[in-house]
Amino acid sequence: AQNISKNALLSGKRIMITAGPTREAIDPVRYISNHSSGKMGYAIAKAAVELGAKVTLVSGPVNILPPENVEVESVVSAQQMYDAVMSDIGSHDIFIACAAVADYRVDNASNHKMKKNKDDGLTLSFIQNPDILKSVAALDTAPFTVGFAAETQDMIEYAKSKLIRKKLNMIAANDVSKPGLGFNSDKNALIVITPEKEYELAQASKDSLAVNLLRLVEREYQETQK
C-alpha cells in the first residue's frame, strides 16, 4: 500500500460524511446546540477527495467553507440530518459520522416567539432524536460504518461499547476533556477501534489525522470485502 499513489487509495469509493453540530429549535428565534466546529468532518471530506473518493458531506451549521469537489447537503436539525442521510446513503460504500448530533430535541417547541413571564422560570421537555449512525449500520445493505466518540472520561470503554451497541466497523475516540484538542480546536488525537484491533493516531493537525484515519478506514474496508 505504501507505493500506491496518493490519489488512487480511495478512487471509485463513495463516502458520506456527517459534520458539525445540529440545532434544535426552542421557538422560531432560539435553539439548543453544541460547540462542534465541523473542522474534523470537513478535514476528512477534504482528505477523502484528495485520496480519490467521491464525497457527500451532510453538514450542520458551521462557519467554515466546504472543500472543493464535495457535494454538500446543508441541514439544521438532527431530524433533517437523519432524513438527508437516509435518503442518500444507499449509493455509498463508506459512512463516517463526525457530526455532533443533538441527542434530544425540544418536545414542545413553540411556533411563535416565546414571551417571558413575570417571575416564572422556564421548563422545556425533550424527546430523543433518531440515532443516525446506528440506523445506517442497521441497514440490510449497510456501508462500512465509522463512528466518532467524544468522551470526557473512560474513553476507550465507552467507545468500545458504542462500537458494539451500534454494530459499527470502526470508532474513533477522542478525549474532549484535554485542553486544546477536539471540539473547536485545529488539533486532535484519536484512538481508532475495530472489533479486533486498536490503533493510536497521536496528536496532530486535523488535516493530517484525517489522512491517516482514512488510510485505516481503507485498510479495514478492504478486509470486509474479502
Q: Does 162 bind ligand CTP (CB under 6 A)?
A: yes
Smallest gap from residue 6 Cβ to ligand CTP (A): 26
Q: Is 119 annotated as a binding residue?
A: no
State how beta strands 104-106 and 126-128 pair. Answer: antiparallel
Which does residue 129 touch among ligand CTP, Ca ion, none (CB within 5 to 8 A, set by kind)?
A: ligand CTP
Burial (Cβ within 10 Å: 0-12, 13-18, ≥19) of residue 5: exposed
Contacts of 198 (CB under 8 A, 6+ apart): 156, 191, 192
Smallest gap from residue 144 Cβ to ligand CTP (A): 14
Residue of 7, 34, 117, 184 marked catalytic: 34
Burial (Cβ within 10 Å: 0-12, 13-18, ≥19) of residue 112: exposed
Catalytic site residue 34? yes
> Considering only residues 47, 49, 51, 101, which one is a binding residue for ligand CTP as defined by CB under 6 A?
101
Consecutive H or E run containing 8: none
Burial (Cβ within 10 Å: 0-12, 13-18, ≥19) of residue 142: middle
Residue 27 corresponds to which cell in the numbers above?
421557538
Considering beta carbons, is residue 52 or 135 the nearer one to ligand CTP? 135
> Considering only residues 132, 170, 181, 193, which one is a binding residue for ligand CTP as defined by CB under 6 A?
132
Number of residues that bind ligand CTP (CB under 6 A): 15
CA-to-CA distance for 187 and 181, rounded, in angstroms? Answer: 5
Q: Is 140 annotated as a binding residue?
A: no
Q: Does 129 bind ligand CTP (CB under 6 A)?
A: yes
The footprint of ligand CTP (CB under 6 A) covers 18, 78, 97, 99, 101, 103, 129, 131-133, 147-150, 162
Q: Detail the residues annotated as belonging to a binding site.
A: 103, 113, 130-133, 148, 162, 166
